[in-house]
Every structure is written in C-alpha cells, then in structure tokens.
A and B are shown apart, each in its own frame.
Chain A
C-alpha cells in the first residue's frame, strides 16, 4: 500500500522527460566530444608538423613523445597532409614485421592502413580531395610516364600520416633510420610521377 502511494505520487511525465533529456545529452556529448576536445591528436600535432612534408621523429623517450602511448619499440615519421592544393602522395617500404602505414583523418578515423606483409613491401598511396574538384590533368594524362603506380588512391581532405617501423635493436638503428628517410610525403608533381 505504501509502495503504491509512492508510485502513484510520481510525476511520470517528468520522469519520461528526464530520461529523454538524459538520453539526448548523452548522445550530444558523445557525438560532439571529438569536435569540442582541444587536446585531440590532430590539435597537438598540427603546430609541430609542416604541411605535406614527412617529419622523422627522434626515438621515443621520456618528454619527447608527441602523443601519449607512443611506444619506443617503433620509430615514427609523420606527415600532416592537406589536399586542398592538389593530390598528395605517400610512399614507404614496409619491409619488416611491425612496420605500418596509417592515414588518419583530422577526427582520428583511419582512412587507410597497411602493415608489413610478405606480398607487398612498397606502399604508395595517393590522396586526392574528396570534393571532386578538377585539379588539372594528372601527370599520366599529360604524357609523363608514371613509373610507380599508386597501390591505393584515397579521398581525404586533411589529416595525419604515420609511418611506423620496428626498432629492432641497437645494431639495426641506422638501418631503421635510413628506411624512414626513404619514405616520402608530398604533392604529386611531374617530377614525382616520372623519377621515382
């Protein structure tokens, strides 16, 4: 009887309205979190990385991590790409297990990921603007011989490219450094299409 009195005294309209409000706030806060967070990975890196240029990071050490949870078991190179001025191409050799090439959007979503396999060592990814703008004829269309055909073409506006190679010990540090230096990131030009 007492419980019934308690239940009948509840304003159910208010309870339903409160549940609706909780749900709406929950969804809004979750969807808006990547946009309102000021410490996202892209926000932290955009000041450090020049556009469309690969930057080889020093080996990870205390106080030198550009982002949290970056392991010193790998060496990293990063490129902040921006396809507003034209297509961008990234090339890297993923020779050893533990190597990877990952392309992130500004929101942190992965738009392309490849890891070392026995089949495809060399990865060459062309990034094009997603809005279908006419960017002029491609080097191939103008008769420039493309010696390296991209292994993938991805539509993305801007974001971060991460090349990670395994740190295989002191004896291999120089080799790992050279492999990172061999990776490239930059606008697609006739020179890139014909010489590499």
Chain B
C-alpha cells in the first residue's frame, strides 16, 4: 500500500514537472510573441517610425505599400491617417526633454513658417479626443496662426489664458500634440527633400503647477 502511494506520488510529481515545463514554454512564447508585437505596433522601430526630437511619425502611414506594423498601428488606433505621399503627421506625447506632456504644465512651441504648403498644430488628450474648453480653441494652422514680424510664431499650451496663439489644455491629463505638414501632390524626390530639410519645432516646458 505504501509502495503504491509512493509510485502515485512520483507519477504525480513527474506529471506536474512536465506540465510546468510546458506551461513555461508556452508562457515564454506568448509573452515574447505578443510582447514584441505590442512594442513594434505601439512604439514602432527605426524601420517604421521617424523620430525628430519629441515628434514621432510613421513613415509609411496610409500608403498602399504600408508596412504591416503601420497598418496594425492605425487599425488599433482607429484612425484614417493622411497618406504619407502628400502629408506627414507627427504626434508628440513628450516635451523636448522627454517628459510626458500634461495639462498641469505650460508649453511653448516656437517655429518659423514650415516649408510645407500647409500645416496645422492641434492639441488632443492622450486618446486623440479634443480637449473641452470654453474658448473652443483646439488648433492653429497656417491660415489662422498669428505670425510675428519676423515670420516666426509661438503657440502656447496652457490651462489658463495666454496672449497670442493660446491652445487651452483644460484638465485633459496627458496630452498629445499633432503636427500635420501637407506638401501637396509633389514628386517623390521633392517630397523626400521637404521631409529631410524641414526643421521641426521644440516643445519647451515653461512651468508646471
């Protein structure tokens, strides 16, 4: 009887050891496979994403020859990105020092006019929804921004009213700023030249509360 119990115990232990080995094996595959997929689709790599300071753009956004990571990224976001053949869409979720953008801080985006034919700067919450504010201001574009005499402009993001080009951030929490640069239908070489020579503005944190 004791011997039988011993054999049963050993068989049970061996079975458990085998199951735990397989569980570990499957767990490693699940974590590795889904984790690497999530990273490549959410954050992107140098193959699919262009980074310029705080600004991040998916190189093949909305193209017919989209890479599968860009396709999965925009499917998950639920957006229809402008084609990167005619426009570049940059999203910044951090300031130029690498700190997450937050509505409790004030920021300044200073730039000269862009080389692209048309541009817009829009502030969203982290999910891409417009921030509710009494002023009803959410974006500035080449048509609506107030330029200085030197041809430069400053867009200020703040919870409280600021003079000039003020974008209210309300109580949105984490923020995302979208910079859309639209070139028009130009040749691919001209498009690449514009892409390479465009100077993107810094997002400077002024103060936090």
Contacts and interface: CB of A to CB of B under 8 A. Distances in A.
Given A18-B29, A61-B130, A168-B143, A29 B34 contact: yes
Interface size class of A (residues with CB under 8 A): 35 or more
A71 B122 CA distance: 6
Interface stretch (A62-70, A83-91, A183-191): A62-70
Interface string A12-44: 001001100111111011110110010111011
B71 A102 contact: no
Contacts of B142: 97-98
Interface string A104-128: 1001111101111100100000000
A33 B68 CA distance: 9
A25 B33 CA distance: 5
Nearest to B37: A29
A42 B120 CA distance: 25
Contacts of B83: 102, 110, 113
B182 A169 contact: no
Contact of A97 (B82, B117, B122, B127): B117
Contact of A18 (B32, B85, B127, B180): B32
A91 to B, nearest CB: 17
Contacts of B186: 117
B45 to A, nearest CB: 12
A51 interface: no
Interface in A45-95: 60-63, 65, 67-74
B196 interface: no
Interface stretch (B102-110, B132-140, B157-165, B201-209): B132-140
B130 A65 contact: yes
B76 A37 contact: yes
B36 interface: yes
A129 interface: no
Interface string B4-38: 00000000000000000000010011101110110
A157 to B, nearest CB: 14
B128 to A, nearest CB: 3
Interface stretch (A2-10, A137-145, A159-167): A159-167
Contact of A30 (B30, B40, B85, B117): B40
Between B64, B80, B82, B183, the greatest number of chain A beta carbons within 10 A of the residue's beta carbon is seen for B80
Given A37-B78, A61-B130, A114-B86, 18 more contacts: A30-B41, A30-B68, A31-B72, A37-B75, A40-B75, A60-B130, A67-B78, A70-B79, A72-B122, A73-B120, A73-B180, A96-B118, A108-B71, A108-B74, A115-B117, A115-B183, A169-B143, A172-B143
Interface of B: 25, 28-30, 32-34, 36-37, 40-41, 62-64, 66, 68-69, 71-72, 74-83, 85-87, 89, 91, 117-118, 120, 122, 124, 127-132, 136, 138-144, 176, 178, 180, 182-186
25 contacts: A18-B29, A22-B28, A22-B33, A25-B37, A28-B33, A29-B37, A33-B37, A33-B76, A41-B78, A60-B130, A65-B129, A67-B80, A69-B124, A69-B178, A71-B138, A71-B180, A72-B122, A72-B130, A73-B122, A100-B82, A108-B75, A108-B80, A114-B185, A166-B143, A172-B143
Interface of A: 14, 17-18, 21-26, 28-31, 33-34, 37, 39-41, 43-44, 60-63, 65, 67-74, 96-98, 100, 102, 104, 107-111, 113-117, 120, 160, 162, 164, 166-169, 172
